[in-house]
Amino acid sequence: MKTIWVAVLLLVAVLVGSIALHFYTTSLYDQLQQNLRRLEKAVEEEDWAAARQEAEELKNIWAKTDATWTPIMDHHQVDHLDESLTRVSRLLELHNREDLLLELALAARIAKRIKDSEVPMLRNIF
């Protein structure tokens, strides 16, 4: 009987941990997307000072997100997003508005694909 209780407790612990991790990764995704939108708005308005400030915040958000996503998400997708965000930083330094807006849209799309691929659904499990 003890074995059954231990198995049930382990199952419950895994489920609770998975749900908590899902909500945390969703929170990080939302922060990342909001920051990308604010950065995009600043670039569209050519407010380079605000864009630099948003880029600094993006680095902080990405540091937390990368540390969380790398062990649990598809490494290729996370690496692809990291490369895109690196290009965002460099294009911002160059004040290359058109390419920067394109790269911001690409980074937002990659982040969405990563999040969507990790949503607990039957098609993602099997």
Q: What residue spans define the domains of the chain?
A: 17-125
What digits encode the pLDDT tens for the residues 12-44?
A: 888 888 888 889 999 999 999 999 999 999 999
Give the span between the Cα atoms of 40 and 54, in whole angstroms. 9
Question: Are 42 and 51 in contact, with CB atoms under 8 Å apart?
Answer: yes
- Buried-exposed string 29-61: b where 16+ CB fall within 10 A, e elsewhere: bebbbebbebbbebbeeeeeeebeebbeebeeb
Neighbour tally for 120: CB within 10 Å: 9
Structure confidence at residue 18 (pLDDT): 82
Percent of the residues in the chain that have a pLDDT greater than 90, as a whole number? 69
pTM of the entire predicted model: 0.85
Structure tokens that stand for 29 in this block? 């995704």
If we measure between CA atoms, which residue out of 125, 126, 35, 124 comes closest to residue 88?
35
Average pLDDT over residues 76-81: 94
Structure tokens that stand for 66 in this block? 């990368």
- State the number of CA atoms in the 13 A half-sphere of 6 facing the CB: 3
- Return the CATH number of 17-125, one of 1.20.120, 1.10.3470, 2.30.29, 1.10.357: 1.20.120
Structure confidence at residue 75 (pLDDT): 87
